[in-house]
Structure 1
């Protein structure tokens, strides 16, 4: 088939040619119309598998301040490792830059250690402020219920004694 046959006659409009082409195949030109119609009928191809399966997260997401400190620590540690590598290579090459790089690597190691400790401290502070859920255990709850019931009984007994004392204290049921 030649170029002229594929394109059609010059008097045909582009819209007519593209409409004719769309009738034969799907927009991506790989899937014939028959397969596309079968998929729209609700029948799936037998080899259809989902790309991924969502699983629940194993651990909860880190709180924002802790995550910020952790990212900062990772960046500082990576810069420290790069500095140490450059210092080592400069030492092997005998470059004048070796001594300043070793000194900066030592200082950077101190800063990286501080950054790791900062992550740990930030995590502890966050857990102390927001992490403790004040939820009494079942035994503490039952003990509190028992104490309240005893206090209620004692108050009821005291009220009864006061009422009897106000009547005259004789305990008579009738006024004869």
Structure 2
């Protein structure tokens, strides 16, 4: 795992034992017992090293029923500011420059699940306090909210004003290696 200046994350330990990859996540209680040991000094996690960097996600475009209601929702949940607004669209920008484009397509537009294309966007909370804040926002603004723990992370799922699934996880992939699918969404 790469540690950047200002990154408050504790390191995740990864080990290989009997052909299985074992992971110790930083937010696990010490009483749960060891689930891994440090990797040998000469090993390097997948996706690390000088050639590991590539393009990163910069923007998401979301088609919504009402861009004003969605801008209020995403602005509060994700702590983003509306920088541009037209009669049919809004652009929200985070403090680190990530962008969410909201495009109004009307109240009767469908969102078929299982069709080709992105189905979910999973946001990462900034820390445990931010995760609980996001959970409170979703509970206050969404009629369907579910919090699940497993695979080394906690995920809260709610709905945006258009009924689209919104997921927030903690810790993020920069803090915990993802070595298995999130079973609720991929298996």
Q: What TM-score results when the alignment is normalised by the length of structure 2?
A: 0.15
Larger RCO of the pair (alpha carbons < 8 Å, separation 6+): 2
**Which structure has more strand as a fraction of its residues?**
2
**Which structure has more helix as a fraction of its residues?**
1
Larger Rg: 1
